[in-house]
Amino acid sequence: MGSEYRRAYAESLEDPETFWLKAAEAIDWEVPPSRAHDGAHWFADARLNTCFNAVDRHVLAGRGADTALIYDSAMTGTTRHFDFNQLLVEVSRLAGALAGLGVGAGERVIIFMPMIPESVFAMLACARIGAVHSVVFGGFAAAELAKRIDDAAPKLILAASCGLEPRGPVAYMPLVEEALALASHAIDHCVVLQRPQLTAPLDPRRDLDWEETVAGATPAPCLSLAASDPLYILYTSGTTGVAKGVVRDNGGHAVMLDWSMRAVYGAVPGATFWAASDIGWVVGHSYIVYGPLIHGCATLLYEGKPVGTPDAGAFWRVIRDHDVSILFTAPTAIRAIRREDPDGRHLRAGIGSLRALFLAGERADPATVAWAGEMLGVPVIDHWWQTELGAPALATCFGLGESEIVIGAAGRAVPGYRFAILDEDGHSLNAGKTGDLAIKLPLPPGCATTLWRNEAGYRTSYLERHPGFYATGDSAEMDEGGFVHVMSRTDDIINVAGHRLSTGSIEQILASHGEVAECAVVGKLDALKGEVPFGLIVPRQGNVSAEPMLKAALVAEVRRRLGPVASFKHVAVVAALPKTRSGKILRGAIRNIVNGREPGPVATIEDVGALDALELALSHYREE
């Protein structure tokens, strides 16, 4: 254990006030904090602007000509560079356009855009004028977008005409139109960026052309905001199928991201940092947009895939072309590359100045970590965090001199975090025992402060299960060395290629079909994506004659209502679902059977033979 890490971790727990006030010195404040935590908020009496810290201050410090944003599109074969001067011009003009449309501090703006520079401009422009942005991943279907429109109640939507996929352009505006028709909340305007690959017809009563709107705008200055004011809302899957709007503040968020860029990732201002994710996810918010820019790094925005655009060497090409220092991606991406290029032929051209690879979003299986380490010859570091936390909570702190890695573990507690493994009654478990992964309160800076318009839901979801702790919803075990092995979710959230999805939301869709009497959805292990949803349905009146058509219809309906991100392809028609005497479906037993394991205890099952029948019915799915 590195001495710097040991010292930082001890200080963060013994004297968090001094520790985080010192970390806060890296941020430019309009009103500096007089204390770190007041019992409810971090840096509560301070004022700042996140956009100023990400853009303006670097220009004022004489770094305006330094590269801030690199856009590399494998889909169009183009690359664009923006220095901090150019980024300031783009962001302040867009901020002025939003202000001109009546968007003020505290009002919400939904951003429904792909991985293009204007998406980054949009987020920073909202932060500049105090508007609360909510980015919605472009892979979501209209119904999911509609839920977010109704919950966030935005004044306007910023959208692009399309996203680009290897199969061709994906039209965004039809999804926006359908979502607005489904939503009860009405917006004032939709500002549409027309991409040449597929333009969209505009509704003159509502829609505005992006370029025309921005061209005539007066650049807007940064607005002074309280550290506790909300920066953004990011929706994450809930166990009931209803998305939860995680709220991030300005002050704690800026401090933690700047600190983590140095302490966890070892990033150096001026170097190129690449988080190969999407701005629709928390990784994109924290480590494509805000973290690198606040820290003064060049950040890389990649529009492409790890394979197929054009081949399994895409990531290594980007790293070489743009002198990437740190790469952060999901294990799914590395598994896909390994599957296409197991011998590492595409690595023969080298990896430039890459110093480390970080993995997160799902469990990094040992085989993938070992392969990447052997092929790249740099540290491959798994780490763990959640949308609600906003930054790493378990890691090998590369920037604090840590080098010890236990393959299969997500690392040790990051300074500021005190982890515990608890049983159902809240008692701490010994090393090597599996239980609920929990974090002792208060959480460090940057963590979610509440759920949007749902404080009661925040308490129910995270604080009530183990009083005095934040319940992560994951099960884990901790070894004698303090390394935490995160096992699985304790609720019905599954992790599909790093994307958190609720099986409950898929069950709702299946159950709404007239031919489905009962259903259950569990996570099926997948060699590429980690997990994929697996559906079981009991048809009404035992009608299995139309089984192929019914299965196809259900797959299509889930895709229509949730979007392709759900990766829903597996549906099994069964005669019955195993239940307890009280009628509760035994999803744990079903999950085990689907994944080729023993179902577990069956003493409480009304019809013990149902498990045998189910195992027989599902046997041929295991090899899919």
DSSP string, 299-333: EEEEES-SSSSSSTTHHHHHHHHTTEEEEEE-HHH
Residues in CB range of 463: below 8 A, 6 or more apart: 441, 469, 470, 471
Tell me: do 462 and 500 sit in the same domain. Answer: no
CATH of the domain at 598: 3.30.300.30
Tell me: do 499 and 429 sit in the same domain. Answer: no
Separation between Cα atoms, residue 624 and residue 534, nearest integer Å: 11
Q: Is 411 left (phi over 0), alpha (psi -120 to 50) or beta?
A: left
Domain final residue pick, 472, 506, 538: 472
Tell me: do 149 and 277 sit in the same domain. Answer: yes
pLDDT score recorded for residue 511: 79
Residues in CB range of 165: below 8 A, 6 or more apart: 75
Separation between Cα atoms, residue 492 and residue 396, nearest integer Å: 28
C-alpha gyration radius of the chain: 24
Tell me: do 444 and 582 sit in the same domain. Answer: no
Strand duo 380-382 + 356-359: pairing: parallel
Domain membership of residue 8 (yes or no) is: yes
Q: Hey, what are 578's tokens?
A: 């195993």
Separation between Cα atoms, residue 464 and residue 459, nearest integer Å: 6
Separation between Cα atoms, residue 378 and residue 357, nearest integer Å: 7
DSSP labels, 354-400: --EEEE-SS---HHHHHHHHHHH-S-EEE-B--TTT-S-SEE--GGG
Q: Tally the C-alpha atoms within 13 A of residue 80's C-alpha that lie toward its C-beta.
A: 12
Domain membership of residue 377 (yes or no) is: no
Greatest CA separation for the chain = 74
Strand duo 530-539 + 499-502: pairing: unpaired
What one-character DSSP code corresponds to residue 198? B
Domain membership of residue 331 (yes or no) is: no
Domain membership of residue 17 (yes or no) is: yes
Angle at 169 between CA 142 and CA 210, to 5 degrees: 75
Q: Tally the C-alpha atoms within 13 A of residue 66's C-alpha that lie toward its C-beta.
A: 20
What one-character DSSP code corresponds to residue 24? H
Number of structural domains in the chain: 2
Separation between Cα atoms, residue 405 and residue 83, nearest integer Å: 36
* SS3 category, 532: strand
Tell me: do 453 and 525 sit in the same domain. Answer: no
Q: Hey, what are 307's tokens?
A: 């394979």
Separation between Cα atoms, residue 69 and residue 616, nearest integer Å: 54
Residues in CB range of 333: below 8 A, 6 or more apart: 276, 306, 315
Residue 217, domain extent: 3-304+383-472
Separation between Cα atoms, residue 437 and residue 418, nearest integer Å: 11
Separation between Cα atoms, residue 95 and residue 413, nearest integer Å: 38
Domain membership of residue 390 (yes or no) is: yes
Q: Is 351 left (phi over 0), alpha (psi -120 to 50) or beta?
A: alpha
Domain membership of residue 31 (yes or no) is: yes
Chain segment 165-192, per-residue pLDDT in tens: 999 999 999 999 999 999 999 999 999 9
Tell me: do 105 and 179 sit in the same domain. Answer: yes
Separation between Cα atoms, residue 415 and residue 413, nearest integer Å: 6
pLDDT score recorded for residue 582: 43
Domain membership of residue 265 (yes or no) is: yes
Run means of pLDDT, 10 residues per run, the chain, 624 residues? 89 98 98 96 97 98 98 97 98 98 98 98 98 92 92 98 94 97 97 98 97 96 98 81 88 98 98 96 96 98 95 98 97 87 95 97 82 96 96 98 92 98 92 91 96 95 95 90 82 67 76 81 84 85 67 88 82 77 64 76 46 66 48
410 to 202, 370, 383, 479: CA distances (angstroms): 47, 14, 5, 11
What one-character DSSP code corresponds to residue 624? -
* SS3 category, 485: strand
| Helix axes of 173-182 and 142-152: crossing angle, nearest 10 degrees | 60
Tell me: do 51 and 115 sit in the same domain. Answer: yes
Tell me: do 101 and 234 sit in the same domain. Answer: yes
Phi, psi of 490 (to 5 degrees): -95, -5
CATH of the domain at 23: 3.40.50.12780
Tell me: do 277 and 143 sit in the same domain. Answer: yes
Q: How many CB atoms lie within 10 A of CB 467?
A: 8
Q: Is 130 left (phi over 0), alpha (psi -120 to 50) or beta?
A: left
Domain membership of residue 128 (yes or no) is: yes
Residue that has been written with the tokens 């290629």 in this structure: 497
pLDDT score recorded for residue 185: 98
pLDDT score recorded for residue 604: 37
Separation between Cα atoms, residue 312 and residue 10, nearest integer Å: 43
Tell me: do 463 and 502 sit in the same domain. Answer: no
Tell me: do 53 and 95 sit in the same domain. Answer: yes
Tell me: do 461 and 500 sit in the same domain. Answer: no
Angle at 302 between CA 156 and CA 132, to 5 degrees: 25
Q: Using the CB atoms, write b or e for 301-333: b if 16+ within 10 Å.
A: bbbbbbbebeebbbbbbbbbebebbbbbbbbbb
